[in-house]
């Protein structure tokens, strides 16, 4: 469970901003979206393969 303690003298807006950052970093929204819709295993495999290709291209560009 993600939580933020409000420090003395801290505004609600600042605490809410910290909460949102923690929420994003934890990947809650991404995980929710991934679980709401079913994707076939073949599509998952294809996406993983494309992701690996993109990663390799990016690494090779950085090496040059």
pLDDT at 1: 79
> Is the per-residue pLDDT at 15 higher than 90?
yes
Give dist(CA 40, CA 43) in Å, integer. Answer: 5
Encoded tokens for 41 = 């295993």
**pTM to 2 decimals?**
0.53
C-alpha 59/C-alpha 34 separation (Å) is 26
- Strands (DSSP E) contained in 1-64 are none
Q: Give the per-residue pLDDT at 54.
A: 98
Stronger pLDDT, 27 or 46, i.e. the higher one: 46
Convert the pLDDT of each residue in 34-50 to its tens digit. 899 999 999 999 999 99
Q: How confident is the model at residue 64 (pLDDT cuts 50, 70, 90)?
A: confident
């Amino acid at each position: 469970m993600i939580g933020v303690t409000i420090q003395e003298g801290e505004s609600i807006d600042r605490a809410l901003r910290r909460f949102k950052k923690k929420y994003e970093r934890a990947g809650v929204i991404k995980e929710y979206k991934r679980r709401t819709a079913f994707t076939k295993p073949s599509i998952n495999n294809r996406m993983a393969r494309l992701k690996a290709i993109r990663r390799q291209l990016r690494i090779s560009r950085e090496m040059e």
